[in-house]
Amino acid sequence: MQPLTRSMMTGAIALAALTAGQAQAEFQLSERFTDTDGDLVADIPEDESQWLDPDTLIFAYTPVEDPAVYAEVWAGFLKHMEEVTGKQVQFFPVQSNAAQIEAMRAGRLHVAGFNTGSNPLAVACAGFRPFAMMAAEDGSFGYEMEIITYPDSGIDEVEDIRGKTLTHTSETSNSGFKAPTALMASEFGMTSGEDYEVDFSGKHDNSVLGVANEDYEVATVANSVKNRMIDRGVIDADQLEVIYQSDTFPTTGYGTAYNLAPELQEAIKEAFFSFDWEGSELAEEFGRNGEEQFIPISFKEHWAVIRQIDDANGVEYDCS
């Protein structure tokens, strides 16, 4: 296996080359929403009759892995949210990004963590208002997209993917599909569906397991998911080889539905930023990636590179 050299070019540089001289398309919310302050997220309705103030808040974490794994991980945090908000809070185990977005759009999901790639779609079409992200003690955050294969697969560098099948996770995933599709074209001159075939595993853990078990030759994944699986002993590190690692991307964004009552939205924010991570299930699980706090974020600022990737891929947010 050759060491990472050219493949370590950052995602930001590759994207800059791809979009040089080209203005990013204007991000548009669904016509259901307004954005009078220009922060690119839906305003809270001015009409109080449109506010939601449910007795039970429904929370969902992005389905990057088996939802059953995370019901217990989030239990302590959701209890804290109950104490802060005075509401009951229920964990909702969604099976796909599309189902998660539709649940919020339909008013059945109130608080959620949407993965990096589906954040813009959730903001544009479901009225998602992200405000927090996990980070390390020093405030650093994010993960990298990796292209992985298994030892002795015959794929030693990215150019070896030509003519083969590259397994993605889902079309709404940044690291599982959007970023690698843009970067394969800009950095390596390979077009999806022409220079290599694609298929989809559905989730990052499926892709990691598929490569580790040699069911998939090569796949694109979020290394945060891969690293947690290795740390939990689901797979061994020596079952995988990394042939590409991108620059750092923002990780899961946490927020609320736009039409929750303003006081409730503020209480939910307080629950995130007042949570004591020490000794918690969240610290045990996400500490594997060095994450140990929630920090405030801005969709307009922190997701700019993700919107740029979507623009480079010709993505349109169909909210019909």
Instruction: Tell whether 103 and 158 lie within a shared domain.
Output: no
| Predicted pLDDT at 25 | 54
Q: Which residues of 101-128 are buried (b: 16+ CB within 10 A; e: fewer)?
A: bebbbeeebbbbbbbbbbbbbbbbbbbb
- 17 is a domain residue: yes
- 120 is a domain residue: yes
Q: Record the tokens describing residue 58, joined without a space.
A: 């429904």
In Å, how far are 72, 176, 304 from 192, measured between CA atoms? 38, 13, 23
Report residue 226 CA to chain centroid gap.
14
| Predicted pLDDT at 278 | 96
Please, where are the H alpha helices in 115-178? Answer: 119-126
Instruction: Tell whether 149 and 243 lie within a shared domain.
Output: yes
Domain that holds residue 56: 48-140+250-312
DSSP assignment, residue 118? T
- 35 is a domain residue: no
Distance CA 130, CA 251 (A): 12
- 225 is a domain residue: yes
Instruction: Tell whether 135 and 262 lie within a shared domain.
Output: yes
In DSSP terms, 113 is beta-bridged to 61, 254
In Å, how far are 223, 252, 255, 294 from 83, measured between CA atoms? 34, 24, 18, 18
Instruction: Tell whether 199 and 281 lie within a shared domain.
Output: no
Q: Is the dihedral of CA 292, 123, 271, 67 positive or negative?
A: negative
- 235 is a domain residue: yes
Q: From the CA atom positions of the chain, what is the Rg in Å?
A: 20
Instruction: Tell whether 298 and 237 lie within a shared domain.
Output: no
Domain limit, last residue, from 230, 249, 268: 249
Angle at alpha carbon of residue 156, lines to 154 and 159, rounded to 5°:
100
**Number of domains the chain is built from:** 2
Report the chain (320 residues): mean pLDDT per 10 consecutive residues: 32 38 66 96 97 97 80 96 98 92 96 95 97 95 95 97 97 92 92 96 95 98 94 96 93 97 98 97 93 96 90 83
Instruction: Tell whether 132 and 167 lie within a shared domain.
Output: no
- 317 is a domain residue: no
Instruction: Tell whether 81 and 155 lie within a shared domain.
Output: no
| Predicted pLDDT at 318 | 82
Instruction: Tell whether 241 and 279 lie within a shared domain.
Output: no
- 36 is a domain residue: no
Domain limit, last residue, from 226, 249, 272: 249
**CATH number of domain containing 174:** 3.40.190.10
Dihedral angle, C-alpha 171, 155, 145, 237, nearest 10 °: 120
| Predicted pLDDT at 26 | 79
Instruction: Tell whether 169 and 188 lie within a shared domain.
Output: yes
Instruction: Tell whether 136 and 148 lie within a shared domain.
Output: no
Instruction: Tell whether 257 and 180 lie within a shared domain.
Output: no
Instruction: Tell whether 120 and 130 lie within a shared domain.
Output: yes
- 40 is a domain residue: no
Dihedral angle, C-alpha 297, 302, 304, 305, nearest 10 °: -150
